Structures are given as structure tokens and as C-alpha cells.
Structure 1
Amino acid sequence: MYELGIAFRQGFSRRRQTIFAIIAVALAVAVITVMMAMMSGFQGELVESSIENNPHIVISPADEEEEFIHLYRHTSTRIMEKEGVIAVSPKYLGQAALEFRDNAEGVSLEGVEPMAEDAVMRVSEDVIDGDFFALVHSRQGIILGDKLAENLEVKVGDRVDAVFPDSKTSSFKVVGLTHTGTAADEVMAYARLDSVQDFYNEPGVVSTIGVRVQDPYQAETIAASIEEETGLDAVSWREANADILDLLETQQAFIYIFYALIYGIAGFGIANTLITVVAQRTPEIGILKAMGASRRSITIVFLIQSALLGAIGLVLGTVLGYAATVFLQNYKIDIPQEMYFGLQTLPLEVEPLNFVYAAIFAFVINLIAGVYPARKAAKLDAVTAIESA
């Protein structure tokens, strides 16, 4: 196939132009692969955070005017028997003030059954001091977020007073501290369910029931089944985070437009190089046509050149993009967690498919970029091309 040999000679005859065209493609592919790694990592971290930092399903009263779920033990047993459910945790939620010496902080006080809550939320994995399961044996024990404990200036072993209007002040012993890396660390406090019910004078009721399922992506189906059987409101993690997930999809659309623009710029670099080659090699093209080369062969020559430049560029770009992604993974970049849904560092995730998509898209764009100069070269008249020498 003589077209291939001609394409090689012409494509690399002007080294400076060729190198710049290859660099343009390589940088485009590298930038896109890094951005795709960031997008994949951000989306993965956000979904993981939504799944792990919240129950997969939250059950609450269907009537907005109703504050509590009654007969919650019977309801919890029925839900636990459902296929796909692996843990159920009834919970009483209330607001209170915690006092220690001259310090006072407003808190979200959660009354839980420690073993059940840990099965749903894996709270024990976040404990940095003390023991979450100490609540099982300590009726007046309490677990605080580390930022809350810092604000109150308390440590494990200290006693804090819980205060709420129309409730008797209760004293709790701090038996552990948790760290989740989210804003909850400043307001979260766990105590035993029966102790919190007594504190608020609301025995026998809970505010919500948290559910953990085997497959988080089946949570919506299971939530619908729970609603139908119990008459309660069941919200899956996907429904609870619908706004954030919709925002991600919208953001992806804008990112793809950005990808197309970057690839377009790289494609213009290839096209410019090939157009220059056509202008400089016009006499040679004329000689080839005079020797019997068809329009099709001339077109193939320039399309091969475009493919070669694009292929070299995308290989270099893929290597560069992978190296940049790995470097950024090891170099933690702090970001404001308040702005990025609790994420503290910029997440990047290396997904092989991202590199495949980037390579295919870049290759196609480069072939398209070579169509115009290839057609221009093919249309040259042999005699006119030779006389232009």
C-alpha cells in the first residue's frame, strides 16, 4: 500500500509543525482524562457519601402533622423480614442544649439502640475516642461529635447536662467521640433510645426508622414496598439526594460541551498542519496524479497522515493524563467541604473506560479534521499543481 509510505514521508517532513500538532492533541487528551477522573471521583465520592452517611431508607409518619411513629417495634420487625433488608434502626430525634461548666451548645440529640444503629450507619467506624457500644451498658452515656466536644471543652469521662423546655435536666457521661468529616460533627450527639425518650417524656415512640439494604440501588423499590405495606412514608437515599444527583447530571452536560471544545481546538491543529502540507506539497501531489494516483489514493494519503498524528497524540496524551491523575491522587488538594457536600479533598478516580472514551473521541475528531485538506488535495488538477512549482 504505497499511500502509507507517502503519508509517513509527508507527515513527518515538517517536524516542527508535526510536533506542535501532536502536542495539541496530547494536551487535549490529557486535560480531558484528568477532568473525567475528577468528575468520576467527585460523583463516586458523593454517591458513596450519600449511601454511607445516611440510612439507605428513612421511614417517617405519612401525615406531616404526626410527629412520631407508634408501635415502632412491630413495624421494625415487619420491615426486617422484607427481602433485601439487612438492618433496621428506630431513632428518636430531638433538639436540646448541652451544658458543661460555662459552655453551652445546641445539639441534635439522637436516641438510638446502639447495636441496631451501628448495623445501619456503621457509627463505630467513626469513633476516634471511647467506645460507641459503651451506650449499651451506660443508660446515661452520650457520644459527641469531636467538634462539638471541642466547643464544649469536654473529653471522654466528663459529664454534660442536657436541657430542654418542659423536660427535666438530665446529666450524661461522655463515653465517646466521633469524627465524620462533615458539619454533623459540630451538632451530633447520640444517647440510648430509652434515655432520650424519657428525657423528652415521650415513651414508646420514635421519630424515624432507618433501614439499610443489601443493594443500595434497589432502595427505591424496597421503599415503595414499605410504603404500600405500612402506610408510612419511606424515602430512599436517591430520592433524598435527588437535587444533588440532578445537579451532577446537569454539570456533566456542560462538561461534555467543554470536552468537545477542547477536542475541536486540537482538531484545528491537525487540520492546519495538513492544510500547510497540501500547500507545500502541491507539486508533488500533481506529480502523483500525473503518475496515475487516483483522487481516492490522494484522499487516503492525507487521511492516513491525520490518523497518524492523532494516534501519536492520543497515546502521549493518555500517558500524560494518567501520570497527572496519579500525581494529583497522591497530592491531596484541600477544598471547602461546606461548598462540596462535605468532601474535604479533591477526589480523582482512574477509570479505564474514561481513557478509552477520550482516545476514541480524539481519534474521530482528528479524522474529521483531516477530511477538508484531504479533499482539497484530491481536487487539485495535475497540470496546474505541477506548474505551481
Structure 2
Amino acid sequence: MYELDIAFRHISARKRLTFFAVFAVALAIGVIVVLMSLMSGFTDELMSMTIENSAHIVVSPVEGTTDYVHFYRHYSEQILGIEGVSAVSPVFTGQVALQYRDKAQGIELYGIDPVAEDAVMQIDENIVSGNFSALSRSNNGIVLGDRLAQDLGVGVGDTVSAVVPASDPASYKVVGIFHTGTPTDETLAYARFDSVQDLFGESGVASGIKVRTNDPYQAEEISLSIESSTGLDAVSWIEANRNILELLNTQAVLVWLYYGLIYLIAGFGVANTLITVVMEKRREIGMLMAMGTSRRHITNIFLLESLILGTIGVLVGCVLGYLGTVLLSSYQIDLPSEMYFGLTTLPLKLEASNFFYAIVFSFVINVVAGVYPARRASRMDPVEAIESE
């Protein structure tokens, strides 16, 4: 195929220009792969934290009717029978001041059945000290977030006091400390359901019912089924975190625009190389056309040059992107958790799709970049091209 031979000869004749064109493509691919790996890791980590550290669905009384769910045991059984629901956990919640010696913190105290709550929230996986199941064996046990425990200066075995208005303080023994990496580590504590009910002077009611589904992404549909069958209000994690999900979608659009700009810059490098070749090889192009080479074949020559430059750049760029991602992953880069939804380290995740998208878009840009110089070469007048030298 003589077009390919000519394309290779043109490329090898301008080694410096060829190097910079290939380097521009490779650098673009490498940067895109690293950024896409960062976005994949960030999105997966954020989604995992959102899904695993919150109930898939929270069932509560319809707003404006009552403060509590009555007959919560009946509703719990009813909800558990709905297709797609794997576990339920009634909870009784209230604001308390937790005190230890001269320190106090305002927190949300959750009264729970430890077995049911662990089935929904999988808290036991986040325990860093003590034992979550100890709540089942202790009427006055309490489990705290690690940042809350640090702020109060308490550890497992210490006794804290829970204070609420118009009620006597209740003493709780710390039996466990958990870490989720979210702001709840500073504002949340768990105690026995009946114990918290007694503290607030209530009985036979729950503040709400937490629900875990087999497929978290079906939570929206299941919440509608719960509302229609119970008459209660059911809010899925998707609805509760809609702002975060919309932010991720908006961020994805902006990032793809950024990717496009990087590819365009690399495409200009390829186009510049090919235009320079066209200007330098005008006489050769004219002679080829005078010998009977069709304009289509002339166009093919320069499109092949664009594809060759792009292919070499893509291969080198994939290697650079892989090495860059692996190198960054090997270092723990700390992040301020309050700025990145609780993420404390820079998350990176290598995915085959990242390389696929980078390769496809790179080839598209390179072909587009080669169209203008290819058409310009094919439209030359053979006589003028030969006499230009």
C-alpha cells in the first residue's frame, strides 16, 4: 500500500515536529487517564460512603400529622414483606447533651435494636474499639463516633451522662467506638431502643424506620411502594442526597468539557505537523498527482499520517496515564474532609473504560485534525505545486 509508505516517509522526514505532535497527544491521553481515574475514584468513594453510611430508605410519619410512628412493629413487618427490602430497623431519636466531666457535646442519640440496626447499617464493620453487639447485653451501653469520643476525651469503659430538658440525666457506659469517615462521627451515638424511649418519656412509638434494600439503586421505586402500602412518608437515599448527585452530574459535564479542550490542544499539534508537511512536500504532491495519483489517494496519505501520529501518541499516553495513576495511588494524599464530603484521602481508581474513552476521543480528534491538511493537499493544482519549488 503505497499511501502508507509515503505517510511513513513524510513523518520520518520531520522528526522534531513528529516528536512534539506525538508528545502532545501522549500528554493529553496521560492527563485524561489520570483525571478520569480520579473522577472514577471520587465518584465511587462518595457513592459508597453515601449508600453504606445511610439507610437506603427512611420511613417516617407524614409531615404535619404526628411526631412518631405508632404501631411501628406492624409497619416494620409490613415493609419487610415488600419485594426488594432486605432489612428494617425501627429507631427512636432525640437531641441530647452528652457530658463527661467538664466537657459536653450536643448530639443526636439513636435508640436502636442492635441486631436490626446492624443488618441495615452494618455498623459492626465500622467499629474501631469495643464491641457493637455489647449494646444487646447492656441496658445502659452507648456507642459513640470516634471524633465525638475524642472531643469528650472518653474511651471504652468510661461513663457519660445524657441530659435532656425536663428529664433526669441518664448514665451510659461506652461499650464501642465507630468510625465512618463522615460528619456523623462527631454528632451521633447509639443506645438501646427502650433506654432512649425512657430517657424521653415515651413508649410504644418510634421516630422512624430505617430500610435496607437488595439493590440500592432501586430504592426510589421501593420507597414509592412503601408509601402506597403504609401511608407513611418514605425518603430514599437518592432523594435525600439529590443535591450531591446533581453536583456530580454537573461536575461530570464540566470535566468532559475540560477533556475536550485538552484533546483540541493535542489535535492542533497534529494538524500543525501535517500542514507543515503539506507545505514542504508541495512539489512531491504535485508530481504524484501528475503521475495519476487521485485526489482521494492524496487525502488518504495525510489521513494515514494523522492516524499514525495518533496511534503512537495513544500508546505512549496510555503508558504514561497508567504509570501516573499507579504512582499517585501509591502515595496517601490527605484532603480536608470538610471540603470533600468527608473524603480524607485522594481516591484513584483505574478502569478499562477510562482508557477506552481516552483512546476513542483521541482518534476522533486526530482524524478531524488531519482532514484540513489532507483536503488542502488534495486540492492542489499539480502544475503550480511542481513549479513552487
The amino acid across from 2:216 in the alignment is P
TM-score between the two structures when normalised by the length of structure 2: 0.98
Structure-2 residue corresponding to 1:339? 339
Q: Structure 1, residues 231-267: CA drift from partner, whole Å, max 9, x if none?
A: 0000111111111101111111111111111111111
Question: Which secondary structure state, in structure 2, belongs to the residue aligned with residue 54 of structure 1?
Answer: coil
Distance 1:228 1:164 in 2: 36
SS where residue 165 of structure 2 aligns? coil
1:106 aligned counterpart, secondary structure = strand
Distance apart, 1:107 and its partner CA? 1.5
Letter in 2 for 1:224: L
Identify the residue that residue 113 of structure 1 maps to in structure 2.
113
- Aligned twin of 1:245: 245
CA distance in 1, matches of 2:386, 2:63: 87
Post-superposition shift, 1:323? 1.3
Any idea what SS the aligned residue of 1:350 has?
A: coil
Q: Is 2:135 the partner of 1:135?
A: yes
Q: Following TM superposition, by how much is the alpha carbon of 1:303 offset from its aligned partner in structure 2, in angstroms?
A: 0.6
CA shift for structure 1 position 204: 1.1
Alignment of 1:199-218 (within 5 A): 199-218=199-218
Q: Which residue of 1 is the match for residue 198 of structure 2? A: 198
In structure 1, the residue matched to 2:319 is: 319
Shift of 1:65: 4.9
CA distance in 1 between counterparts of 2:113 and 2:388 reads 90
Partner of 1:186: 186
Q: Deviations over 1:197-255 (max 9, x none)?
A: 00000111111110001111111111100000100000111111111101111111111
> Which letter maps to 1:286?
G
- Percent identity between matched residues is 58
Output one character per residue of 1:39-91: Cα deviation in whole Å (capped at 9) or x when no partner: 11111111111110000100011133521111101110111111211110000
> Which residue does 1:297 correspond to in 2?
297
- Give the whole-Å Cα distance in 1 for the aligned partners of 2:102 and 2:253: 52
Aligned to 2:18: 18
Which residue is equivalent to 2:255? 255
What is the alpha-carbon distance in structure 2 between the residues aligned to residue 63 and residue 96 of structure 1?
23
**Letter paired with 1:20:** F
Mapped to 2, the partners of 1:41 and 1:83 lie a distance apart of 32
Q: Which amino acid aligns with 1:146?
A: D
Q: Secondary structure at the match of 1:254?
A: helix
TM-superposed deviation, 1:172: 0.8
Per-residue displacement from partner, 1:83-131 (whole Å, max 9, x unpaired)?
2111100001111111112121111111000000000001111111111
Tell me which amino acid in the other structure corresponds to 1:273: T
Aligned to 1:181, the other structure's residue is in SS state coil
Amino acid at match of 1:184: T
- Does residue 153 of structure 1 match 2:165? no
Shift of 1:297: 1.1
Alignment-derived partner of residue 374 in structure 2: 374
| CA distance in 1 between partners of 2:54 and 2:96 (Å) | 22
- Tell me, yes or no, if structure 1 residue 125 matches structure 2 residue 120: no
Question: 2:356 corresponds to which residue?
Answer: 356
Which digits, 9 at most, give the CA deviation of each residue in 1:308-362, with x for residues without a partner? 0011101111111111112222212111111111111111111111211110110
Looking at structure 2, the residues matched to 14 and 295 of structure 1 have their Cα atoms a distance apart, in angstroms, of: 23
Counterpart position of 2:99: 99
Aligned mates of 1:225, 1:330 — CA distance in 2: 45
Aligned to 1:84: 84
CA distance in 1, matches of 2:65, 2:36: 46
Task: Report the 3-state secondary structure (helix = DSSP H, G, I; strand = E; otherwise coil) of the residue aligned with 1:235.
Answer: strand
What is residue 384 of structure 1 aligned with on the other side?
384
The alignment yields a C-alpha RMSD, in angstroms, of: 1.0
- Residue in structure 2 matched with residue 307 of structure 1 by the alignment: 307
Q: Distance in 1 between matches of 2:60 and 2:104?
A: 30
Tell me the matched-pair count: 389
1:274 equivalent to 2:274? Answer yes
SS of alignment partner, residue 132 of structure 2: coil
Cα distance between partner residues in 1 of 2:38 and 2:64: 40
What is the one-letter code of the residue matched to 1:236? S
Q: Does 1:227 align with 2:235?
A: no
What's 1:287 paired with? 287
Other structure's SS at 2:142 match: strand
Task: Please identify, of 13-22 and 82-91, the stretch whose mean Cα deviation from structure 2 is larger.
Answer: 82-91
Unmatched tracts of structure 1, length 5 or more: none
Q: Which residue of 1 aligns with 2:33?
A: 33
**In 1, distance between residues paired with 2:27 and 2:157?**
57
Structure 1: 4+ residue segments shifted above 6 A: none
By how many angstroms is 1:178 displaced?
1.0
Q: Distance in 2 between matches of 1:147 and 1:258?
A: 38
> 2: distance between equivalents of 1:323 and 1:186?
38
Unaligned stretches of 5+ residues in structure 2: none
CA distance in 2, matches of 1:388, 1:196: 93
CA distance in 2, matches of 1:102, 1:360: 63
Q: Residue type of the partner of 1:350?
A: L
